[in-house]
Amino acid sequence: MNSAAVTRTSPHRALLNALGLTNEEMERPLIGIVSSKNDIVPGHMNLDKIVDAVKLGVAMAGGTPLVFPAIAVCDGLAMGHQGMKYSLVTRELIADSTEAMTLAHAFDALVMVPNCDKNVPGLLMAAARLNIPTIFVSGGPMLAGKVDGHKISFSNVSEAVAEFQAGKITKEKLLEYENKGCPTCGSCSGMYTANSMNCLTEVLGMGLKGNGTIPAVYSARIQLAKHAGMQIMELLKKNIRPRDIMTKEAFDNALTLDMALGCSTNSMLHLPAIAHECGIELNLDIANDISDKTPNLCHLAPAGHNFIEELDEAGGIYAVMNELNKLGLVNTDLLTCSGKTVGENIAGCVNKNPEIIRPVENPYSKTGGIAVLKGNLAPDSCVVKRSAVAPEMLKHQGPARVFDCEEDAMEAINSGKIVPGDVVVIRYEGPKGGPGMREMLNPTSAIMGRGLGESVALITDGRFSGATRGAAIGHVSPEAAVGGNIALLEEGDIIQIDIMANTINFAISDAELEKRRAAWKPRKPRITSGYLARYAALVTSGNRGAILEYK
């Protein structure tokens, strides 16, 4: 180091001395490890082990690892109360704080260690924004529980509550579900939001093979973390950056795998938000085009009775990609964090279990697991997990039962006021109106637990947990709080849903619609101070990924 450089950096080196770093460590690249470890999120209790393995891998490959934190909210623990307003909004806090820490301390590269619903997309957004060499390694999925010889997951526990309230099971059986539903650490064992995003991180090329599927408690997860730590040094050496990897074509691959896997509808919020940070506008209009040509190959919980651990045993995400590649649906020329192309990564990754990953010749359906609907109820769009909808509910017509918050809807469902044929509408729960776009796992679980899943639909400008199943249609845009047509619905209006035709409408004349619009007045904000008030002032509707706009 020349004398000018020494003079310029001596104060910085003095502070690094205070950390106990040696001169040798200071001369190596400084690798930031962003750890989402905390003691309240079950998916994160093992991240200290993952971080230690990453640190070892970085050091083995010649880097100096330095850890700093990212926050994370457990959606399951936040569900059904005020806390859920703070779930989606943490995505922006995670991205912003990671940006601040990284640029303030001039890290050369990053290893992201997330696991759950919002910190995976939040850190992907940060990676795209910062655009320095970055790799991801998640904490991994939870193993499934077991009751009466059948595997279960978190969604079964939620539905068991409604079954108990309806007198279908005993308190002792409910407690058995409670005690056995979540048997290990990790992100909940089905294709819920956390696992959806960890799998799609692998598809986007930002995580190594197995990132989305190796169970949290397997030693292979520790080995994966060591390899990620070593591989970040290769990415730094070759100056491979997130925007070199997360291209428009990579997002097309992600949407394609989303359809094949039957991921959480929350992916339709997060992928556009991540793409936006890459400078790519991901219009959800293309989702149906991709879905039309992409077969649904997996029915993982809550859509079916298979779990992430079984997807891993069947060959994982690369095996699904290789299966789709038989139809030419995967762009194989794209660069990934392995330093290899998608095609090189998936070569030889065979489908080991055609019951878990259906061959393309025998799919669950010829179209994808998620559908984007439009109509006069959702002029900009709304989203449904089509693969988790009962066949008889793919086309449904019924009277609107209108509620202006989740709590009022829950009271009606639990008191037996919702009957077969109804369409439950929960509005003013969107990004601005909530604020925070709460998940509606409790209402959907109550509907399923009461045996109404094959006769009642639920529509909201809020969103759904990845654990939700049934005719649950969310992200209605524009949302009620900005005067979207969902705000103009009245009790008893006939709603017409045709999921296969991608339409959602309510029977109303243009004249009546305009009359109601003229009479509509914005609601007073529910929250007027703190972070949620600032968030509500800046956030867009769900069809744009609930991104923040500063204009």
**Catalytic positions, written as ranges:** 465
Query: Which one-letter amino acid corresponds to residue 198?
Result: N
* Cβ atoms within 10 Å, residue 149: 5
Of 193, 157, 341, the closest CA to residue 253 belongs to 341
Residue 423 · residue 134 · CB < 8 Å:
no
Q: Are 467 and 158 in contact (CB under 8 A)?
A: yes
Contacts of residue 164, Cβ cutoff 8 Å, sequence gap at least 6: 170, 171, 173, 174
Contact status, residue 278 vs residue 244, Cβ threshold 8 Å? no
CB-based contacts of 128, cutoff 8 Å, min separation 6: 242, 243, 246, 274, 277, 278
Q: What is the 3-state secondary structure (H, E, C) of 71-84?
A: CCCCHHHHCCCHHH
Indicate the residue type of 348. Answer: G
Extract the tokens encoding 352.
Answer: 């080991």
* Alpha-carbon torsion angle 7, 8, 10, 15, nearest 10: 170
Q: Which of 264, 301, 296 is nearest to 159 (CA)?
A: 301
